[in-house]
Amino acid sequence: MTTKTAYKKHYVAIIGGSISGSEAAKILAENGFRVVVFEMNKLPYGKIEDGLPNWHINLRNRQIKEIDSKLDHPNIKFVPNTKIGKEIDFLDLATNWGFSAIILANGAWQDRNMPILNIEKFIDKELIYQNSFIYWFNHKHEPDYSGINYVVKNNTVVIGGGLASLDVVKVVMIELVKKQLLIKKGIDVDLFTLEKDGINKILELYNVNFEELEIEKASLVYRRTAMDMPLKSPKDETKERIETARLVSEKLLNKYLEKYLFEFVPLSVPSGFIENNGKLTELVFQNVLIENGKVKPIENSFFNIKTEMLISSIGSIPEKIEGLHYEYSSLKMREKADYHVFGFENVFAIGNAVTGRGNIQESKQHGRQMTEKIMDKHLTEEAFELWLIHHNNQIKSKVAEQLDGIIKEISGAKIQPESILNEIINKTDSIHKKIGFTTYQNWVNQNMPIRLEEILKK
């Protein structure tokens, strides 16, 4: 697609600039729409930057390059360090800024709460949530890192069952082995080598028995079986394909167990804890079985695991934005709508903000498909005229004396009236000036964090 020379009438705000947000921005921009992308972080990379452990170098760099190519576009204004719901009120953005449509692509950054009564009192002590844990792991090497510093401990228990959970338990085992190899044997192995070759091969290479390191293995506890882990997606929904994917998932988990030397505890759900002197010391689990595809607790069947550290990796949900409607932890959508947000004519949601799944390709595909639907059904000239009437009525109640001039400006307008355009431009320019933003590429170059692999090469 080539960039259109004539602007379309709609000016669209996108909240979140990562996988689905950048995909939506690119599609809209290349079709002649003007777009403002609001990003809560300095950089738009989302969980590509802060959710994938930093050994995913090629994947991270490839996705970052792709996001940059999409957002560095003349029809797109990128506004970083601006969290909707904090720096800008959502209802103010929706009603006063002049955007005729808003697309939520803010992903899922809030960890699901651990389903154990009163467990939250141990947060950032014995209890750690996945998102903050991986953020620490990815950024702790940076000279200006000012976040929480975690110390990975023996007997760590990770609760979860997806690829993200496997990344977490790998981090735990790699951190423990790396530290103890240096302390006990004077052997310094970087985490990239440990991740690529595996702990088992590194110990064989240096002729070290695992027991010599005095490490208690981490445990990954899952409510289902190894075959149920979503490590391999079926090519289609036929029974044969599903069963093949289940077998592959089991084989993949077994390879992880052999390579990184952690324990796997299936068919178990957390139900309580034991504390000693104000510290979490043991977790109580209930055995379960799978019946008709559902997890069913086994009555009066419990066991304990001693732990010095609990990491919850049971999934993430979108952070709630005041002014939007939610059903429990999920954004409320219109009935039978897969992208239209409840309570608003011109607010939509794409990617992980609505699907709840963090898969890169799924987010990209959902962002593309939903944006095309939004564009075809809601960003038409007719839709713009209806929005403009509604927007005009809002202005009428606020600035009655300016109405005649605005009406004259609207009549025969090829694009949005200049007053509305200027409102958006002035407000975004004000934010840019405050934070020292000049161009997208300059901003990215100035704020790209120091990569661990670059430090290790020196």
Taking only the tens place, the pLDDT of each residue in 119-162 is 999 999 999 999 999 999 999 999 999 999 999 999 999 999 98
Q: How confident is the model at residue 258 (pLDDT cuts 50, 70, 90)?
A: very high
The pLDDT of residue 416:
53
Higher-pLDDT residue of 359, 49:
49
pLDDT, mean of residues 343-350: 93
Examine the domain organization and report whether 164 and 269 are in the same domain.
Answer: yes
> Which DSSP string do the residues of 5-22 spell out, in sequence order?
SSPPS-EEEEE--SHHHH
Our count of domains for the chain comes to 2
Kind of pairing between the strands at 11-15 and 34-38: parallel
What is the percentage of the chain residues whose pLDDT exceeds 90? 75
- Among 295, 316, 337, the domain-final residue is 316
Examine the domain organization and report whether 294 and 332 are in the same domain.
Answer: no
Q: Is residue 1 part of a domain?
A: no
Q: Go through the chain and tell me how many residues it has.
A: 458
Tokens read off for 378: 């809601």
Examine the domain organization and report whether 70 and 155 are in the same domain.
Answer: no
What is the CATH number for 125? Answer: 3.50.50.60
Can you give the residue range of the structural domain that contains 220? 111-316
DSSP 276: E
Examine the domain organization and report whether 355 and 267 are in the same domain.
Answer: no
pLDDT, mean of residues 105-116: 90
Please give the helix or strand (H or E) that residue 100 lies within, else none.
none
pLDDT digits (tens, 9 = 90+) for 147-158: 999 999 999 999
Examine the domain organization and report whether 348 and 445 are in the same domain.
Answer: yes
- Among 266, 300, 316, the domain-final residue is 316
pLDDT higher than 90, residue 79: yes
Beta strands in 42-150 (DSSP E): 76-79, 101-104, 110-111, 127-129
Examine the domain organization and report whether 139 and 251 are in the same domain.
Answer: yes
What is the CATH number for 356? Answer: 3.40.50.720
Tokens read off for 74: 């003349």
Q: How confident is the model at residue 236 (pLDDT cuts 50, 70, 90)?
A: confident
Tokens read off for 257: 């167990």
Q: Is residue 215 part of a domain?
A: yes
Examine the domain organization and report whether 398 and 294 are in the same domain.
Answer: no
- Among 249, 282, 316, the domain-final residue is 316
Q: Is residue 170 part of a domain?
A: yes
Question: What angle separates helix 130-139 from helix 163-185, to the nearest 10 degrees?
Answer: 50
Examine the domain organization and report whether 40 and 168 are in the same domain.
Answer: no
Contact 157, 310 (CB under 8 A): yes
Examine the domain organization and report whether 181 and 300 are in the same domain.
Answer: yes
Which class for 397: exposed (0-12), middle (13-18), buried (19 or more C-beta within 10 A)?
Answer: exposed
Q: Is residue 308 part of a domain?
A: yes
Tokens read off for 340: 């239209």
Report the C-alpha gap between 333 and 34 in whole angstroms. Answer: 25
pLDDT higher than 60, residue 387: yes
Contact 73, 33 (CB under 8 A): no
Examine the domain organization and report whether 359 and 434 are in the same domain.
Answer: yes
Q: Is residue 148 part of a domain?
A: yes
Q: Is residue 5 part of a domain?
A: no
Spell out the alpha helix ranges (H) of 266-312.
none
Q: Is residue 6 part of a domain?
A: no
Neighbours of 104 (CB within 10 A): 26
Higher-pLDDT residue of 327, 225:
225
pLDDT higher than 60, residue 395: no
Examine the domain organization and report whether 50 and 149 are in the same domain.
Answer: no
Q: Is residue 90 part of a domain?
A: yes
Examine the domain organization and report whether 229 and 166 are in the same domain.
Answer: yes
